[in-house]
Amino acid sequence: MTTSAGTDWAAWQESWDRQQEWYMPDREERLGIMLDMVEALVGTAPRVLDLACGTGSITARLLRRLPGATSTGVDLDPALLAIAHGTFEGDDRVSFVTADLTDPDWPARLPYDSYDAVLTATALHWLHTEPLAALYGQVAELVRDGGVFMNADHMIDESTPRINAAERAQRHARMEQAKREGALDWSEWWQLAAQDPVLAEPTARRFQIYGEHADGDTPSARWHARTLLARGFAEARTVWASPSDALVLAVK
Ligand SMILES: C[S@@+](CC[C@H](N)C(=O)[O-])C[C@H]1O[C@@H](n2cnc3c(N)ncnc32)[C@H](O)[C@@H]1O
């Protein structure tokens, strides 16, 4: 755990959010709907697993909205976990676990063997479809009967190439415009982290672990729903979508 009295964790959270919003201007909307569905299906005091939690973006919004909730965040990135630890230090509703989600034994590191909700955003496209399908089987075992899994991510329907090309061109044009107006992208954000006295060391370690970015797949929302059903969920479908992304919800 990295802590430093002098580090402004809220400022790091803010700049992480702005960087992520450069890719996804509707990020808050999707996270809001995720929490709407948590509340609708598992109530106001859920035990949540924030899967590939990064800085704890989902956990922060969960606790603001549902103060009776508890959360376990799991991730492998030492720098993002340092920000997460710093942000939630002293909050006994929250704990963090360092684990690689492609390691078959990662669930053994969790403090609980059952969750009301497993939530994840903008992360599982770092995995290829085969390990992701295996991960979905493990997630199905962690979710209690009646509990939920939700994944908000970039999901591409390969059967619509002209729609996809037009959407991509428009999205990239908007990103270029935002960049001209000063938005930070992924690598610029990491350059800032590398210059921070507290984050420099875990940032160097994260680049040893991942390189610039992991290389995964972005299957369609239909693939996610179908795979979740095949791996042990009773219902699964999209509950929110943008031209490029979707939020898929599965109920055990
Ligand atoms: C773009 S960040 C999103 C973080 C957070 N969910 C959010 O929305 O702000 C993707 C996260 O997935 C995590 N991740 C990717 N592959 C992973 C793996 N195999 N094991 C654990 N975490 C992983 C990364 O470390 C990173 O924190």
Secondary structure of the chain: what % helix, strand, coil (to 5)?
50, 20, 30
User: Can you list the domains of the chain with their CATH numbers?
Assistant: 9-251 (3.40.50.150)
CB 134 less than 6 A from any atom of ligand 1: no
Place of tokens 């037009």: 166
Could you tell me the pLDDT band of residue 98, with boundaries at 50, 70 and 90? very high
Give the span between the Cα atoms of 252 and 236, in whole angstroms: 9
pLDDT of amino acid 14: 97
pTM (2 d.p.): 0.97
CB 153 less than 6 A from any atom of ligand 1: no
Angle, vertex CA 178, rays to CA 175 and CA 184, nearest 5: 90
pLDDT of amino acid 1: 39
Which residues have a Cβ under 8 Å from the Cβ of 242 and sit 6 or more positions away?
26, 30
Across 30-174, the runs of DSSP E, i.e. the strands, are 47-51, 70-75, 94-98, 115-121, 143-154
Q: Determine the distance separating the centroid of ligand 1 and the alpha carbon of 54, expressed in angstroms.
A: 5
CB 214 less than 6 A from any atom of ligand 1: yes
Could you tell me the pLDDT band of residue 187, with boundaries at 50, 70 and 90? very high
Please report, in angstroms and rounded to a whole number, the separation of the first and last CA atoms in the chain.
34
- Residue 237 has φ and ψ, to the nearest 5°, of -165, 170
Q: Best of 122, 139, 206 to mutate for ligand 1, by most ligand atoms within 8 A of CB?
A: 122
Instruction: Write out the two tokens for 163.
Output: 């729609």
The pLDDT tens digits of the residues spanning 48-63 come to: 999 999 999 999 999 9
Q: Determine the distance separating the centroid of ligand 1 and the alpha carbon of 92, expressed in angstroms.
A: 23
Q: Determine the distance separating the centroid of ligand 1 and the alpha carbon of 86, expressed in angstroms.
A: 17
Instruction: Write out the two tokens for 109.
Output: 């590191």
Q: Best of 35, 53, 217 to mutate for ligand 1, by most ligand atoms within 8 A of CB?
A: 53
Would you call 99 helix, strand, or coil by DSSP? coil
- According to DSSP H, which parts of 74-220 are helical? 78-88, 129-142, 161-180, 186-195, 200-210
Could you tell me the pLDDT band of residue 117, with boundaries at 50, 70 and 90? very high
**pLDDT higher than 60, residue 122:** yes
CB 102 less than 6 A from any atom of ligand 1: yes
| Average pLDDT value over all residues in the chain | 96
Which residue lies with its CA nearest to atom 26 of ligand 1? 54
